[in-house]
Structure 1
């Protein structure tokens, strides 16, 4: 009976008649509530009708056998309902072959596991695919690379420049533009967006409704690029093409409204700005923003809160969110909340006044990295790098004393250490830089996924050491980098430089892999470099700036100074600009070489001052000596010369 009803159900099923299939399934399930085939077909019909919550409810009411038999459909329902972790678990257990790989890549992309998604798309492309599938794989792989670039994992990006085939589809051209924009090349991104827009407008495969729906996100992205390029007039003209209310996805609508508000924000009332940024509700489930997008919009929202002085509200909301996150955290979203929490605590003040309110918070939360970097930035703005270094060293010491692995990872986080090294460089602390990087390299070498940039910086710093142990460590680090990437010429050159003085025969064979010196300097104009002079290093420039106030002007500096123009009213009446001025005009008359004394008394004085003339001992006596002969000494002189008091 069940088989006959199911056969009848399948005969009546068509690709465009999912409602009828759903009705037939319901009738069958009324007679047999646990009919697994009817439940499976009902779930598929609901998925076709975009009723994902109802489809997931069918799987929840069924047993484990239904979830196992329809593993792919169950995983897809979980994915569309935003339950990404459960969806990944279900799709990996389904074992449905190529379809499961497609779904796993899609779920990984939505869960922001972009490396896994990129690996799956590359594997699917290499295994062979039809023309239509290859086009979809190209579109999705470009989108994944764009997200990897936005997330800061540029070393895993596989695409560089779009090929001619990539530019024939507006989807691929749009994703290539997103990758270019993520790299910061906005001018090139504008060109690619124009290409995608033109292809979409002239496509014959799209209906007018579909064409309008596809052009909206392109226009929103284009508006962002124009704002970054400073093309305000073109941005204002583009605003007429964007109808925010026609955008179905809440995530895209929120981004569009944010960009439109920023495009029109000239002399805007802060309360109007606050209302406009909070007008669109937050997206949920599978339509929510990616972290890189959400961080920017949350920052804009809190900035508007600060403008309208909602300090207490920001403190409450950020404290609530921070209490749910781990501390320390290296995620951008969590640290951004700490920054705005500190800004609200400061109540719009900066400098020492802000530090006075924020420093007690850092003493209570020394592991809050966002708060720490806020304090460091305030110190640097005040020119107090020493206090900034002290604050960082205290927090890093607190992390180092912890036994938690998460605290240790945060302690040696490359981004955090780069900030500390930059502060050390400002004060010329070379030994601290070397020890900090060496300690971090020793820690990360024990980890499976060690950051290559940090290891490279540590190895390069150790090359400047005179200690053989440091050179050996540098060689080991460069060797490990070369094992990770055999085409890394920096690693090869560093390994050769570290081992050349220790064991030259060991690295002699490596020299063939390095380019010739003549090849490296072929395009360098030596004459231009010599005429430009030598640029001082950062340390010497900082030292010169520190002592610039104490440096005296030399004679050459005085001569190089511009001659000050004198007004005509200050010049004498008989002034002749062609006549050379007397160089002794600033000396008194009796000190000039042209001075000729008049009278007997003046001639005698001039003769006494003449070199080689007779010496007048009386004239040579000092005034002090004369005074001593005339009036005696200090306090213990003779009393014979003293006069008695009284009337004369």
Structure 2
């Protein structure tokens, strides 16, 4: 027994990365004679990890018990991580005393479990002096950039404060690639495209990689390039990138699925939708630890529903989306939840956007008044038709039902910054300035009662700036409080500083005298402005003036078009319809449409005709005898005019 243990130790001392099978065999020999030999167990799990046999590693840990889990906590956490048990892996690594190695495992497990805030905190703690860390420093920079990119994809934190790549970040293809992903997630597509080209060039010229490794590393860069070009609508360049991507060479199924999705997007206009649907669902699903991040799986699910709608699988989309929505919180402001509602609505109306479809969706909204995705769908359809008033009414009605609810979650949904911004945008289209101010004040009042971590800075900034121009002292007091809160959250925010000074300038100037001195002088702000050039360029017009001018121009165009149309109509008169004596140089008689006897130029002939004309003339001399006979005839006074002539019966 002792000799065997000694031989195992000797073997471990001279082991290299090539002989893990030998270590495993020696460990098994020792464990046959002593199942509780903890060093042999430890050696066995290390060998199994080196051989990528993670399931077998976990079985050894479970059979050995807590003693081995305590001694080899880092190995145990790593095996859990590789088997997809991410939260357990992070917890085991956090409790272990494995030093920096355990921290790396915890950060990586947190990253894959989408706990990016924890991963970022760990990596910030591990970062230090470059000379002391050596090669670990470069790995930490790569992982830090990857974490930042994921937080941007998930919309965690303030996008405007995301860091920009430094010079050292552009010296390796890994950091350039991750910085490019962060730019794409932030919406800076041009910067992302430039960084991806930089990463590709650095990878191709790297002397540390073999040709096989270069090919493996270039694949994800090409896939991300394809995504960037598709988003920008550069389909011709995207088709060139497609030629560089070989799906058969991609080992990870999740990466292959994403690559195939992006390729199909570039080809969807030239492929029959039924063939496209078949190809999309032919891709294999990832397994084990090879999983999608949530934003990736959500996007693929949405694309699947879109393809189902194209091949008219309406009933299937209704059933699948309704089933998924039944498991989600209600109401919800989660983008994916609302996207499911939109696909559900599209399937119910068979993709139509006419008035009949809108009325059908409004009937559905009566049964689901708090379905935010459905509400936004109807609002969009109304706005697309130019019916802003109906869009406002629908959104206000739904928000009112949320506002009247006693649920705190419903209240949070009611004053969600996204929904508030949609309502304000609709108010702006209708010029309802007072409604905008009231809505911002209500939203700010709600969020002021919440914790500082929950308060949306963008909404508070908009509310503070709007209320600053109010003549109501209560609104001005709210503006002062909001600007004070914004200053505490970010002392370097110049907007908050300027607003804070402006809010107190008219009521308590002494209170902001110190901050006033910090602000730059107006002379310094306009010192580089060319006044002569501004004067020669002219005074810019307001939106109202531009709208009025546009109306005048539109009216002039209508008149010109009408005149032109009239001219065309005159030219189209056929000669056969013109009188024989028609002279285009003479002005037509304006009374030509009146009967001949009603025209001013009419002159009756003969005595009787002149007499009738005189009788019709207003203001002429009245013949009393004639008038008496007329009245007697009208009343049946026995005149011979009223008698009928005798005739044959």
2:544 corresponds to = 536
1:57 aligns with 2:24: no
User: 1:159 & 1:552 partners in 2: Cα distance?
Assistant: 45
Query: Could you tell me which of 243, 263, 278 is aligned with 2:281?
Result: 278
Check if 1:318 corresponds to 2:321.
Answer: yes
1:514-529 residue pairs with structure 2 within 5 A? 514-521=519-526, 522-523=528-529, 526-527=534-535
**Structure 1 CA distance, aligned partners of 2:356 and 2:282?**
34
| Alignment pair present for 1:155 and 2:163 | no
Structure 1 CA distance for aligned equivalents of residues 513 and 632 of structure 2: 90
Unaligned runs of 5+ in 2: 573-584, 592-599, 602-613
1:624 offset after TM fit, Å? Answer: 7.6
Please name the residue that 1:491 is paired with. 496
Structure 2 partner of 1:435: 438
Provide the aligned C-alpha RMSD in A. 4.0
Aligned-residue offset at 1:399: 3.1
Q: Report the Cα offset of residue 472 of structure 1.
A: 0.8
Q: 1:137 aligns with which of 122, 137, 140?
A: 140
Q: Does 1:245 align with 2:242?
A: no
Q: 2:76 aligns with which of 74, 77, 80?
A: 74
Task: Report the CA distance between 1:416 and its aligned residue.
Answer: 1.9
Post-superposition CA distance 1:551-576 (Å, at most 9, x none): 9969x997999989979x969xxxxx
In 2, Cα distance between equivalents of 1:637 and 1:456: 91
In the superposition, relative to structure 1, how do residues 532 and 477 fare at CA in structure 2: closer, same or farther (>3 Å)? closer
2:295 counterpart residue number: 292
1:454 aligns with 2:453: no
| Aligned-partner Cα distance in 1 for 2:523–2:631 | 86
Contact 1:105 1:116 in 2 (8 A): yes
Please give the alpha-carbon distance, in whole angstroms, between the structure 2 residues aligned to 1:373 and 1:279: 33
Decide whether aligned partners of structure 1 residues 460 and 354 sit closer, same or farther in structure 2, where only a CA change above 3 A counts.
Answer: same
Partner SS state of residue 286, structure 1: coil
Partner of 2:594: none
> Match of 1:198?
201
**Could you list the per-position Cα deviations for residues 200-252 of structure 1 after superposition, in whole angstroms to 9, with x for gaps in the alignment?**
11212112211111111111112222333443333323322211011011111
2:633/2:639 contact within 8 Å kept: no
Per the TM alignment, residue 531 of structure 1 is displaced from its structure 2 partner at its CA by 4.9
Q: 2:165 touches 2:179 (CA, 8 Å); kept in 1?
A: yes
Structure 1 residue runs without a partner (length 5+): 572-583, 591-600, 603-618
Rounded Cα–Cα distance in structure 2 between residues aligned with 1:354 and 1:236 = 37
Q: How does 1:319-398 map to 2 (within 5 A)?
A: 319-398=322-401
Q: Which residue of 2 is the match for residue 607 of structure 1?
A: none
The one of 425, 428, 431 aligned to 1:425: 428
Secondary structure at 2:409 match in 1:
helix
Aligned 8 A contact 1:351 1:382 in 2: no
Q: Tell me the SS of whatever aligns to 2:268.
A: coil
The question of whether the paired residues in 2 share the 8 Å contact of 1:148 and 1:157 is answered with no
SS of 1:265's equivalent? helix
Instruction: Give the superposition deviation at 1:35.
Output: 3.8
| Aligned pairs (5 A) from 1:544-563 | none
Q: How many residues end up aligned between the 2 structures?
A: 604
**Partner residue in 2 for 1:47:** 49
Whole-angstrom CA distance in 2 between matches of 1:560 and 1:274: 49
**CA offset digits 1:354-380 (Å, max 9, x no partner):** 233333433333333222222222222
Does the 8 A contact of 1:173 with 1:193 survive in 2? yes
Instruction: Provide the C-alpha distance between the structure 2 equivalents of 1:557 and 1:243, rounded to a whole number of angstroms.
Output: 58
- Distance change in 2, residues 1:103/1:560 (3 Å): same
Q: Distance in 1 between matches of 2:126 and 2:633?
A: 114
Inter-partner Cα distance in structure 2 for 1:32 and 1:523: 86
Cα distance in structure 1, aligned partners of 2:484 and 2:208: 54
**For residues 468 and 180 of structure 1, what CA distance do their matches in structure 2 show?**
43
Deviation at 1:625, TM superposition (A): 8.5
Match of 1:89 among 75, 91, 99: 91
Structure 1 residue 29, shift from structure 2 partner:
3.1
